[in-house]
Amino acid sequence: MSGKIKNFKELEGCVVIYTDNYLNDIEGGKLEDECDVFLNGGKRKIVIDFANTDLVNSIGISILVGIMEKVKKRNGILFFSSLKKVNRDIFNILGLTKHISIFQTEEEAIGKMLAHE
């Protein structure tokens, strides 16, 4: 995938990645590549914050499922935060919410992530 996500922050125990606008094949690919970089660099705790994401399409969902599987294979932890109602509804309908913890805010997700051992 070309390009990369430039909006992230690394904390001592985890990394927060911020998605933008419309999570489709292009933006989803960038997100997946960035998660791979962090996983390969030893990070096992990742929060993906969707505050600036208006919509996640079907390809974006497929990419998120792939990210979830990669994190699980590495014995990592992945949380989602700040989903807009439309995206939360999509995630509920597709059953994603049964497989991942979703938090109202980035701060809640980070707090839970850092408390998780």
For residue range 26-80, list pLDDT tens digits in order: 999 999 999 999 999 999 999 999 999 999 999 999 999 999 999 999 999 999 9
H helical segments located in 19-104: 25-40, 58-73, 85-94
- The CATH code of domain 8-110 reads 3.30.750.24
Burial bucket for residue 73 (CB in 10 Å: 0-12, 13-18, 19+): exposed
Supply 57's token pair: 């399409």
- DSSP class of residue 59? H
Provide the mean pLDDT of the chain: 92
Confidence grade of residue 92 (pLDDT, cut at 50, 70, 90): very high
- Which residues, in sequence order, are CB contacts of 61 under 8 Å at separation 6+? 90, 91, 94, 96
- Domain ranges, ordered by start, for the chain: 8-110
Hunting for tokens 């690394």 — which residue is that?
10
pLDDT for position 2 = 43
